[in-house]
Amino acid sequence: MAVTRQQDKATVPDRTPTSVRLAISATDDFSPGLKGFAERVRSLVVGLGITARRSVSRPVTLKYPAEKVELSPRWRGALRLTGVLGREDVALIEGPASDYNGLIDDLYRHDRLPPCVGNCPANVDARGQSFLLADDRAAEAYELVRARNILPGVLGRICHHPCESACKRTYYDEPIAIRPLHRVAFERYAEHRAERVAPLPVTREERIAIIGSGPSGLAAAFDLMHAGFEVHVYEKEHAAGGALLSGVPAYRLPRDVLATEIADLQTMGMKLLTGVRIGTDVPIDHLIGEYDAVLIAAGLQVSRMLPVPGSDAQGIWGALDFLKAGNWKGGCGVKGRRVLVIGGGNVAVDCARVALRCGAAQVTLSSLESMDELPAHPWEIEEALDEGVIAMCSYGPKEVLVENGRVAGMRLQSCLSVFDAQGRFAPVFAEEFTDVPADVIVFAIGQAPQLAELVSGSDLVLTERGLLPVDGALMTTQVPGVFACGEVVTGPGSAIASVASGHEAATSIIRYLDGRSLSEGRVYRPVPVYPRYQPATLTGVEPARRRTVMPMAKGADRARDFRQVELGFTHLEGLAEAARCLRCASEVCVGCTFCARTCPDYAITVERIDDPGHRSVTRYDLDLSKCCFCGLCAEQCPTGALRHTGQYELSFYHRDFAVFDRHEMVRSPEGSRATGADCRGCGDAR
């Protein structure tokens, strides 16, 4: 019996039909009789109505050139340039510290803020630095950066460079090496330091005391000295620098670099008093009474410890004490021993690398997070592994193994996950344990402030957790005239974020001493959001466009001592890297050629020279006889210099005049007519 399938019943055509039946048809035939007569009259009335309406409406055609069509602002007419390198300079972002946020906010609102500047917590003008360095004006570049970075030589070695994460060049090939260029500027500044660093005039009667000489305190001191105040900085240690001196290892930050930049601040007028412990040697109430304003920039002084069984055994270290011993004494009792570091952040990685340099026989880094989740910077992890650090990821400490009162090892428990579905810290462990032998254990799981001694005897009151209540926007405490900044306010963070905090505190102090409201009319730093680019495909990218590679000491060699790991750029490498900067949002064409590379019709030709002191775009030709007016070139322009115009009337006496050269490209955008440069003075050419 035959079975009829459902699809056999479907009326599916076996070929594409050659005609389609319309549901509506038009015909000139009318019905017979009176009905047809009525239809004819109705048709005539409709036609006369259409004619009447058309007769009073504006005609579609124009009486050209007396009448011209109104175009949309996005009309893609003949392109022009707002500026050209060699004719116009890239504008530098400069201004008084108290007005700097307003300047940044205005640039951001008008889409003129470079991504590298907007993504930096202190809004350092990285674009201006590259412009000046490429022009071989290193001293000006250093001072431009120092206005916001305070310590370019220091941050040029240790900053986590969020500016590079937003660099638009990443979209095309590789980001600019902004952090290493800070170091280049510092090293070149040595030639000019003697004649350019001078005392700042004291124009105000008020005096200000700053407790702590870390990056936030130094940033505030810099701004306050430029505002004309006398500034005294109190430091409890034997030398200034705070965590930069005690916590950052010398293989990342040579001590002479830090000392040189702090000495510059002293030359400018900062009075530094070391070895003075506020709260013990000098009560803080004494400072409050003697000075017109007091700024607490004490940072985080103690390491957090885990209360696991055996954590009181001999051989247990906190990260900050361990780093201080390694940095100051060159040894921390680990020579020939096995060291286990608990933690996965940058401080933990520093502890592991310091242990190697102090002679440890074996160093293991254990963290709750998996290798892909480690909070430490990827390049720090890579360098540590290259030097011989062993990583044990996804393990958490269970208990310290103790023999005769000394550390013998650590029992670790396998960690399945660190965060819950909402992203909150909620580790989940498996019933699986591993014993790791160790002679020394370093806990690097966080830091905390130690302020009870500092504020004793004053009206300053700490919370139950020992924290100082501070307005995070205005940097004020509960006592008038006493301010706070840095990690004592923000918690653990980066050096550049502490610098930004110091700038905000200085602005509040200036307003306070001026008798102004701390908040009224104040512009807070905007927090721009920029796209994050996937790494570009570098296949076929010519070497001249590639990022300059930082030379590094070999892993096996550098782990033996505290010599610098990064060897630095040469003068020529610095010039070449600075010249790669696209000068984003400057509205000045720098000859990057990305418009020419994008053009599907090969209508654009760009040439430039990069000789320091003579950098310029020497040729910019736009051939309108080839241009299809697609606008892709303008959309790609990183500087915003290439713009559309409404000049849709193209008047040329000769085909050669359709090629607009560099001079014609910077013509006025007014009017609707665009003519070749050679037509100037040709009577009606304009």
Q: In the prediction, which pLDDT does 24 show? A: 52
Give, as one character, the DSSP assignment of residue 552: B
Instruction: Kindly report, residue by residue over 286-329, the tens digit of the pLDDT.
Output: 999 999 999 999 999 899 998 999 989 999 999 999 999 988 87
Class of 307-440 in CATH: alpha beta
Instruction: Kindly report, residue by residue over 99-158, the tens digit of the pLDDT.
Output: 999 999 999 999 999 999 999 999 999 999 999 999 999 999 999 999 999 999 999 999
Instruction: Kindly report, residue by residue over 420-464, the tens digit of the pLDDT.
Output: 888 888 889 999 999 999 999 999 998 988 899 999 888 998 888
What gap in Å lies between CA 635 and CA 639, rounded to an integer?
A: 10
Q: In the prediction, which pLDDT does 265 show? A: 97
Q: In the prediction, which pLDDT does 560 show? A: 84
Beta bridge partners of 483: 295, 476
Q: Dihedral of CA 667/671/677/681: which sign?
A: negative
- Sorted by where each begins, the domain ranges of the chain are 80-86+586-679, 307-440
What gap in Å lies between CA 359 and CA 96, rounded to an integer?
A: 48
What token pair was written down for 98?
A: 């108290």
Q: Does position 406 have pLDDT exceeding 80, yes or no?
A: yes
Q: Does position 666 have pLDDT exceeding 80, yes or no?
A: yes
Q: Does position 11 have pLDDT exceeding 80, yes or no?
A: no
Q: In the prediction, which pLDDT does 1 show? A: 42
pLDDT band at 682 (very low <50, low <70, confident <90, very high): very low
Lowest-confidence pick of 5-19, 341-355, 582-596: 5-19
Reduced to 3 states, what is the DSSP secondary structure of residue 608?
strand
Contact 283, 458 (CB under 8 A): yes
Count of Cβ atoms closer than 10 Å to residue 256 Cβ: 10
Instruction: Kindly report, residue by residue over 47-103, the tens digit of the pLDDT.
Output: 898 888 888 887 677 776 677 667 666 667 889 999 999 888 889 999 999 999 999
Mean pLDDT, rounded, for 384-407: 93
Q: Does position 9 have pLDDT exceeding 60, yes or no?
A: no
What gap in Å lies between CA 238 and CA 212, rounded to an integer?
A: 12
Q: In the prediction, which pLDDT does 465 show? A: 83
Q: In the prediction, which pLDDT does 167 show? A: 93
CATH value of 80-86+586-679 in 3.40.50.150, 3.30.310.40, 3.40.50.720, 3.30.70.3270: 3.30.70.3270
Average pLDDT, the chain: 88
Cα 558 to chain center, whole Å? Answer: 29
Q: In the prediction, which pLDDT does 7 show? A: 45
Q: Does position 374 have pLDDT exceeding 50, yes or no?
A: yes
Instruction: Kindly report, residue by residue over 497-547, the tens digit of the pLDDT.
Output: 999 999 999 999 999 999 999 999 999 988 888 877 777 888 888 888 899
What gap in Å lies between CA 458 and CA 453, rounded to an integer?
A: 10
Q: In the prediction, which pLDDT does 532 show? A: 77
Phi and psi, residue 428, nearest 5°: -115, 125
